[in-house]
Structure 1
Amino acid sequence: MKSVATRKAELEARRKALLSRIEEIGQELDAHDSKDWEELAVERESDEVLEDLGNSAQNELRMIDAAMHRIEDGEYGFCVQCGNEITEERLDLLPATPFCRDCAQLR
């Protein structure tokens, strides 16, 4: 069983990686300056993929930040909906999850 301190360290490491990814995506999006129409079309398609990746990273960041607040409040590892303890296996897969398996399925 992992301690809350270990989970917090893992969440902080993931947060740092996500911030780095978001910065790289922003740099890539700003780097396009093709004057060729075909290349510009391909770049725009790539931009859509990059934007989706950036949005996904930002959503995960919000979940991590919320999990960090739950850690500070002493509520980490408990479902925010029903209050039951979230299983260790679920936290291993989704360390920032606010829901137990049952409540997540209901959502």
Structure 2
Amino acid sequence: MISDKKIAHFKSELLQIEQELMDVLGLAEEVNEKVELDQARFGRVSRGTALMDQAMSEAGVERDKQRLVAVRKALKRIKDQQYGFCLECDEPISEKRLEVAPETELCLDCQSFKEEQLRHSES
């Protein structure tokens, strides 16, 4: 079981990540305007590059939104005194894993199993 001091540490980390993501997402919405498709203004290569940049930006925004949801779920688990336990097997998640990704929901074994299932379903 994780000590109260460590839980406070992870809560602080999660709150900081939450704030950073909210800041980034607030800025991303301003920057993520639709690419103007006027070929007179953009050459074919420039237009393609602009569209690719926009797609990459949108993917980054979506990833940040998903991480923000995960961070908020982790903060709720702290509030509910369920933080640090795998949502699949209910075993403790290692502190090293939580240090790397404090929002993680699964222990390493369950995460590996989930990823393996995804790989097989995609084949």
Larger radius of gyration: 2
Q: Which position in structure 2 is the counterpart of 1:23? A: 26
1:17 maps to amino acid: E
- Measured in 1, the distance between the counterparts of 2:16 and 2:34 equals 27
Q: Deviations over 1:55-107 (max 9, x none)?
A: 01001011101101110110000111111111111111111011111111111
1:13 maps to amino acid: Q
1:37 aligns with one of 31, 36, 42: 42
TM-score, normalised with respect to structure 1: 0.88
Q: Deviations over 1:14-42 (max 9, x none)?
A: 11111111122111123865851224443
TM-score, normalised with respect to structure 2: 0.78
How many equivalent residue pairs? Answer: 107
Unaligned 5+ residue runs, structure 2? 115-123
Query: Identical aligned pairs, as a percentage?
Result: 24
- Measured in 1, the distance between the counterparts of 2:26 and 2:49 equals 21
Q: Which position in structure 1 is the counterpart of 2:118? A: none
Q: CA deviation at 1:3?
A: 1.5
Q: For residues 1-107 of structure 1, what are the structure 2 equivalents within 5 Å?
A: 3-30=6-33, 36-38=41-43, 39-107=46-114
